[in-house]
Every structure is written in C-alpha cells, then in structure tokens.
C-alpha cells in the first residue's frame, strides 16, 4: 500500500523522472527545489517501498491555493494514486484554513479534468492559447 508524505530532497530525481515523462514542458529540478523550500506542507508524494508513484504540489498565499502540478507514474495510473494525492492535499489545505483552491489545465486533458470534477472542482473560465495552440480551462473549489 502506498503512503503519502511530504516531499523530501531524496525524492527529487524520481519526481523529475515522472514530470519529464508526463509533460512536454516539464518543471526543472531547480524549480521543484524552490517549491519544496517555499511550500513544504503542500508538496506531497505518494510512495511505495522507496518508489515514488506520483506527486502533487500547490502554492499557497493568504487563504488561497493554486495547484501547480500533479502527475502519476505512467504504469501506476488509474489506481487512485492521483485522487489520493488530491484528497490528501485538500485535507492539508483545510487544516491551513485555505478557503479556495484553483488551477488551470489543458482543455483536452480528459483524465485530469475528470479527476478534478470528481473531487468537486467547478469550471470557472478559460484562457485562450495558454498552452500555445491549446486553451486552458480554469477550475476552482471552495473549501
Ligand atoms: C491526471 C492523473 C494525475 C490522474 O492520476 P490517476 O492516479 O491515474 O487517477 P485516479 O486513478 O485517481 O483516477 C481518479 C479519477 O480521475 C479520472 N481519470 C483518471 N484517468 C483517466 C483517464 N485516463 N480517462 C478518463 N478519466 C480518468 C476518472 O474519473 C477517475 O475515476 P475512476 O477511476 O473511478 O473512473 C494522471 O493521469 C497523470 O499523471 N496524467 C499526466 C499528468 C497530467 O496531465 N497532470 C495534470 C496536470 S493539470
């Protein structure tokens, strides 16, 4: 069974591996290190026997949070790792008295959109050309 814990420096290599295989414009290792330093409570990983299965990271300010990235290892998808990470993040945000969570996602990303909608996120807008030729759709969740 996988466990969810805070990101630690030893996870960086595996997080980058998952990030690089999940996105065409991945975050750099340096950026993940900065996020870990700035938002240690809201950078979470799912891990089983020292293997990182996925991660989620959000920035927080005042009583708002912005999900910056979530990804699950290719061969571990559709096993509730992503929804487990999202639920764990939301639980921690509630404890921090965050009142609203928002994010943007590529319009064509059916898997991620479905994950967010199942968690109760509501569509709140669109940014044309946010990903080059693709639009972003915006979601938010009131806590
Ligand atoms: C989006 C992502 C994180 C989902 O992680 P996951 O662990 O596979 O998701 P879960 O198993 O927790 O699925 C939860 C729900 O999400 C939806 N979902 C997940 N994958 C899906 C897919 N391929 N197609 C349609 N719906 C999907 C379903 O509603 C699913 O519930 P169900 O299994 O009961 O039908 C994963 O697909 C991923 O890493 N994608 C690449 C990175 C990415 O696009 N991140 C989002 C950036 S905003």
Residue 92 in this model has a pLDDT that exceeds 90:
yes
Q: How sure is the predictor about 1, in pLDDT bands with cuts at 50, 70 and 90?
A: confident
Q: Taking all residues of the chain, what is their mean pLDDT, rounded to a whole number?
A: 96
Res 10: pLDDT: 97
Mutate to test the pocket of ligand 1, among 18, 58, 77 (most ligand atoms within 8 A of CB): 77
Sorted by where each begins, the domain ranges of the chain are 3-142
User: Ligand 1 centre and the CA of 15: distance in Å?
Assistant: 17
| CA pair distance 66, 136, nearest whole angstrom | 14
User: Ligand 1 centre and the CA of 116: distance in Å?
Assistant: 9
Residue nearest atom 24 in ligand 1 by C-alpha distance? 111
Comparing CA positions, the residue from 55, 54, 53, 58 lying closest to residue 41 is: 58
Residue nearest atom 12 in ligand 1 by C-alpha distance? 80
Give the homologous superfamily in CATH for domain 3-142: Gcn5-related N-acetyltransferase (GNAT) (3.40.630.30)
Residue nearest atom 5 in ligand 1 by C-alpha distance? 82
| CA pair distance 66, 58, nearest whole angstrom | 5
Q: What is the pTM of this model?
A: 0.97
DSSP, collapsed to helix, strand or coil, labels residue 123 as strand
Percent of the chain with pLDDT over 70: 100
Residue 99 in this model has a pLDDT that exceeds 90:
yes
Ligand 1 atom with least separation from CA of 74: 39
- How confident is the model over 27-67, as pLDDT tens digits? 999 999 999 999 999 999 999 999 999 999 999 998 999 99
């Amino acid at each position: 069974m996988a466990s969810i814990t805070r990101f630690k420096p030893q996870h960086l290599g595996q997080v980058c591996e998952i990030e690089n295989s999940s996105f065409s414009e991945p975050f750099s290792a340096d950026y993940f290190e900065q996020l870990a330093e700035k938002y240690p409570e809201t950078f979470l990983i799912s891990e089983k026997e020292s293997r990182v299965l996925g991660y989620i990271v959000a920035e927080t300010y005042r009583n708002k949070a912005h999900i910056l990235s979530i990804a699950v290892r290719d061969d571990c998808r559709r096993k509730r790792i992503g929804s487990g990470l999202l639920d764990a993040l939301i639980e921690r945000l509630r404890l921090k008295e965050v009142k609203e969570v928002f994010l943007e996602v590529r319009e064509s990303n059916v898997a991620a959109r479905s994950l967010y909608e199942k968690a109760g996120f509501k569509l709140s807008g669109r940014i044309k050309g946010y990903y080059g030729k693709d639009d972003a759709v915006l979601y938010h969740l009131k806590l």
